[in-house]
Structure 1
Amino acid sequence: MAELPSADLRGTSPDRVRDALRDGDPLPGGRGFAGRLADPPDRDGPVLVRDVLGRQPLFAEREAIGGDSAAATDRAPTDPDAWSFDRAALDDPERVPAGSVASASGVDRVWTLPVGPPAEPEAAQAAVDAAVDDALGGLADESGGPDGPGRLAVAFSGGVDSGLVAAGAPDAPCYVAGFEGCHDVAAAREAAAAMDRELRVVEITHEELLRAVRAVAGVTGRRNPMDLAIAVPLYLAAEAAAADGVDRLAVGQGADELFGGYSKVVEPATDDRVDADTVRGARTETVRTLPAQLERDVLALRAAGVEPVAPLLDDRVVSAALALPGELLASDGERKVALRRAAAGRVPESVRTADKKAVQYGTYVSRELDRLARRAGFKRRMDDHVGRYLEDLLPGD
């Protein structure tokens, strides 16, 4: 029988983390991990660990982990009251950096993402195909059935990422949240019809938007318009799923970053949003944003009452994606080339080739936050008018 995660460690078993530390392996299998490891190899005492992509959030008191405080302290980050998976459980939380080990002696970066030359296109595509097959293959088994505990649902926006995830869990209901008339709801309806899937539409109102903004800001500590506009639709979809008895929500997170889904990756040499001048280099920059993004999304989903399941962030998929040549990331205006090819035969052609809007725009959440800000007197001529509105709306620190 496979060893299960301990109460102090989420995502994988202590043995797998010990092996990853011993071998220096940044992608040891699974979908990430974080927590307290009681008996790490070659160390004198317990440590906190967090995987290389930060797929599991982990926090420690700032004074225990160092932070920006100059005050001396004898407190260790592994003390029972000095760390948590939930930032709200701590007085002054500081995130444990992705890929790091934290102990009484400090914080050490021990894992970094593998960097190497690209694989040959044919072999690279075959590796992605196999990795996606493996990652999605066991997803249906995780649902626990339509009525029992462990029920799984899918966050569904009609694009190739969520379409692939939904294809891996054919009996799971699908959920989408957005304002009336928005792109994501329309796309999800079309894709669900093409895939013959049950879809629940969660219609966002201004009242629900403001309630969710406060909730998400409270659990994530994020107060800026971009983070809140991204997390709020996910939170509301997850909340509706939890109310229907779902306790795990499968998501397509990571696909855009790993597979070249952003427009800035297509022509990086002429795009001032990235420093790199190659497609692979620009993709690497987007991958490095994942720890901060995933922390936000995981905390929001857990606050809504579900545990996220992210099969496209499986180590096998990550490893295959990192080896892709630029032409299989973005080419001739097409993005996520390798992932779309892997989706052939799994999802309808209309879903495989669907053009996806960023969630904050596709759901109209950014548009409606702007509208509420202007109604409250924060006009567009003001610098960061939505950000100022949110600071006025949200309680102080």
Structure 2
Amino acid sequence: MRGTDPATVRRALDATDPLPGTAGFAGHLDGRLVRDVLGRQPLFGTPEDWDFRPGAVDAAASPVPAGHVRERVDGQVRDRRVWSLPAPAVAADDGTACAAVRRAVRESVTAVDPDGVAVAFSGGLDSALVAAGVPDAPCYVAGFPDAADVERARAAADEMGRDLRVVELTHDDLERAVPEVVAATGRADPMSVTIALPLYLVAERAATDGVDRLALGQGADELFGGYAKVVDPASDGRVAATTVRGATREVIETLPDQLERDTLALRTAGVEPVTPLLTDAVVDAALPLPDYLLATSDERKVALRRAASDWLPPSVVTADKKAVQYGSLVSRELDRLARQAGFKRRMDDHVGQYIDSLVES
């Protein structure tokens, strides 16, 4: 069992408790495979032939779905849901709700073991909260020289008095790493590749520097209303929900797929991911938040920013940043490389075709 002890998982199964106080888990237990409700640990295979890496088992083996056990019943392998994400009532008191977020976040980030850990640091709210929990850990950011993430990370690290190590990316880095990321994750679509690439390259550099674990701010955007599409969901075709809470829950439910991709990329690069903003305690504090403590037309991640307001510099608390594939300029530069290689934008999925060509070569 990876992520917690078998006794905790047995108790969670017996009580049908989806948030038993862990940071996620997966593994083999009593003749079956089990994976936590948010899929924070990837798991593949059958009860007889399983692994945490897809390439270590039958190539046709699918991931165990989040919140499920995979067991053999009457000779057939079956997935059975045992946990679902809680759906608590809306918090009745704003002050109590924000205090719960503040307490859960601080306890989770300060509980990170500082030994051998570094922080993937973009200078935004989420990674800054993680960095605040491990004040002596080095911080890493990846991007091309004119990338917004690099500029923002430098400014935030200076304000916070942190050691920042910049991984300056080149076109050669992308061309080399694309096939490695595709092999690690099993995904070749441009969105997956461009998200995983900067994480992979940061982790690779950190591992070279002797880092064993990389702490990230993953999950905060999903849990706390960080996406533009949740602000006015009734008029945004990217979500089916019509309320901020409903749209936020939709986004949370995408986490298992995202975390599988990122975890596999990071482990292949040589580090173990640490995600303190995705502990059960933080999830439990986020789920009851009302619409206006998640996102409004003026502000996103409202409760999380309030929780950070007396801990981080004001400019970091209010920082607005781009998604990693854009803030690092990886998406822009991979598009540039595709066009230079003859894959023009008028072609269908020109970046995807370019990725395929790199993998084939």
Q: Provide the C-alpha distance between the structure 1 equivalents of 2:357 and 2:211, rounded to a whole number of angstroms.
A: 34
Q: Distance in 2 between matches of 1:17 and 1:91?
A: 26
The alignment status of 1:101 with 2:69, answered yes or no, reads: yes
Distance 1:243 1:376 in 2: 31
Q: Distance in 2 between matches of 1:137 and 1:372?
A: 41
The residue aligned with 2:41 is 56
Aligned to 1:372: 337
CA distance in 2 between counterparts of 1:374 and 1:28 reads: 49
Contact kept, 8 Å, 1:131 with 1:316, in 2: the verdict is yes
CA distance in 2, matches of 1:359, 1:323: 28
Point out which structure has higher relative CO (alpha carbons under 8 A, 6+ apart): 2
Per the TM alignment, residue 143 of structure 1 is displaced from its structure 2 partner at its CA by 1.6
Q: Secondary structure at the match of 2:62?
A: strand
Question: Hey, what does 2:96 align to over in structure 1?
Answer: 123
Give the whole-Å Cα distance in 2 for the aligned partners of 1:385 and 1:271.
27
Give runs of aligned pairs for residues 176-191 of structure 1, distance below 5 A.
176-191=141-156
CA distance in 1, matches of 2:143, 2:110: 30
Q: Calculate percent identity across the aligned residue pairs.
A: 63
Alpha-carbon offset, residue 333 of structure 1: 2.1
Aligned match for 2:231, one of 266, 271, 278: 266
Provide the C-alpha distance between the structure 2 equivalents of 1:231 and 1:358, rounded to a whole number of angstroms: 12
- 8 Å Cα contact 1:266/1:333 also seen in 2: no
Is the Cα–Cα contact under 8 Å of residues 266 and 279 in structure 1 kept in the other structure? Answer: yes
Comparing 85-94 with 293-302, which one deviates more in the overlay? 85-94
Residue 387 of structure 1: CA displacement? 1.0
Q: What's the CA shift for 1:163?
A: 0.3
Greater shift, 332-341 or 164-173, is seen at 332-341
Shift of 1:344: 1.1
**Whole-angstrom distance in 1 between the partners of 2:353 and 2:97:** 46
| Equivalent residue letter for 2:16 | G
CA distance in 2: counterparts of 1:91 and 1:20, whole angstroms: 29
| 8 Å CA contact retained: 2:178, 2:358 | no
CA contact (8 A) 1:59 1:83 kept: yes
Paired with 2:329 and 2:259, the residues of 1 have a C-alpha distance of: 22
Aligned pairs for 1:38-77 within 5 A: 38=30, 46-60=31-45, 77=46
- 1:36 aligned onto 2:28: yes
Question: So what's the TM-score if we normalise by structure 2?
Answer: 0.97
Counting only pairs closer than 5 Å after superposition, residues 131-280 of structure 1 correspond to structure 2 as 131-139=104-112, 142-144=113-115, 151-280=116-245
Deviation, 1:346, is 1.4
Cα displacement string for residues 149-186 of structure 1 (whole angstroms, at most 9, x for unaligned residues): xx110000000000000000000000000111100000
The number of residues matched between the two structures is: 355
Unmatched runs of 5 consecutive residues or more in structure 1: 1-8, 39-45, 61-76, 145-150
Q: Per-residue displacement from partner, 1:197-235 (whole Å, max 9, x unpaired)?
A: 000000110111111111110011010000010011011
